[in-house]
Amino acid sequence: MTYMAGAYLIIWGASFIFILTMLRRQAKLDAELKALQEVAQEKEAGR
Amino acid sequence: MGGSNRGLMILTIISALLMLAAAFGALAVAPSAVGLTPDETAAQRIIYFHVPVAWLSMLAFGVTAIGSVVYLITSKRLWDSLAVSSAELGIVFTLAAMASGSLWAKPAWNTWWTWDPRLTTYTIMFLLYVAYFMLRSAMDDPARRARFAAVYGIFAFLSVPITFMSIRWWRTIHPVLIDPKSGFGLSKNMMPVFFLSLIAFTLFYVVLLIYRVRLERSREQVDALKEQLGY
């Protein structure tokens, strides 16, 4: 059973790390997108 | 919450429940294999996990190839996003298949790793897709990057059928689960848990792919805005 537990630990661990990095990347991109949209709006208003 | 978000949330919950059911089935419901040592019997249950992730690695690279072909035909960025997202998932599943296979190999073959035709072709396939990301990271222009990656993604896919057929074409110690001569290599009472695992992992891949494509689309939006603003 140790082997099976090891195998599941690997997939759950890998999935968890992958999902976590994906969420972090998404949060970072959302923040960047928001900031860029604000800059674009300011530029638009300044014209 | 929009309709598509709610749908994705429901899909995510179903996927998580199915994964738990598959884990329970593999650990507690599936019958033990007969005629093996206790260590081999325990390790044999890895099949409910190892085969689905190995199948998904190949499916993921297949989706990359399809996305690449459609991108070259249509030049729509969505297909490039699909291709790169699926390739990334393919890498994750390939690593999981290699690690779980290695765990099984120790009690079954008395070694963690051997240069068997299946393991060798699988490693080559893995390295080809690592190179896919190296190629992408070497190019700044999004259209050029997508075009080159699409061509490479199609050629890299050639390694997938070779890997799949390696245990049928060459002399190997790797078990053959689906053999045209001897049929399916599992007993009837092992099949429900096996197919449950296969469905659970496939749905898990679909869910991850949707999230990953969304991430790629956000990145494209950021890049487009940066270009528009002159950054």
Considering only alpha carbons, which residue of chain A is nearest residue B28? A1
- Are B225 and A33 within 8 A, CB to CB? yes
Closest to B201 in 3D by CA, of B8, B22, B7: B22
- Are A29 and B215 within 8 A, CB to CB? yes
Work out the minimum CA distance from A24 to partner chain B, whole angstroms.
10
Supply the pLDDT for residue B229: 83
Supply the pLDDT for residue B1: 47
ipTM of this complex > 0.85? no
pLDDT, tens digit, 9 for 90 and up, residues A28-47: 999 999 999 888 888 888 76
Q: Which residues of B touch A1 (CB under 8 A)?
A: 27, 42, 45
Supply the pLDDT for residue B182: 67
This prediction's pTM? 0.88
Supply the pLDDT for residue B210: 94
Supply the pLDDT for residue B73: 97
| Mean pLDDT per 10-residue section of chain B, whose length is 231 residues | 77 92 87 75 82 95 97 95 96 92 86 92 96 94 94 96 91 79 74 92 95 91 86 75
Work out the minimum CA distance from B127 to partner chain A, whole angstroms.
19
Residue A8 structural domain: 1-47
Domains in chain B (CATH in brackets) are 3-229 (1.20.120)
Work out the minimum CA distance from A10 to partner chain B, whole angstroms.
7
Supply the pLDDT for residue B190: 85
Amino acid, single-letter form, for residue A15? S
Amino acid, single-letter form, for residue B51? V
- HSE of B115 in the Cβ direction (CA atoms, 13 Å)? 1
Closest to B196 in 3D by CA, of B49, B34, B2: B49
What is the average per-residue pLDDT within A2-26? 82
Residues B119-145, buried b or exposed e (16+ Cβ, 10 A)?
bebbeebbebbeebeebbeeeeeeeeb
Work out the minimum CA distance from A15 to partner chain B, whole angstroms.
8
Pairing relationship of beta strands B183-184 and B178-179 according to DSSP bridges: antiparallel
Q: Which residues of B touch A28 (CB under 8 A)?
A: none
Q: How many other C-beta atoms lie within 10 A of the C-beta of residue B177?
A: 14
Q: Which residues of B touch A30 (CB under 8 A)?
A: 218
Confidence band for A1, pLDDT divided at 50, 70 and 90:
low
| Terminal-to-terminal C-alpha distance of chain A | 68
Number of domains in chain A: 1
Minimum-distance CB partner of A11 among B43, B49, B226: B49
Are B130 and B80 in contact, with CB atoms under 8 Å apart? no
Q: Which residues of A touch B106 (CB under 8 A)?
A: 3
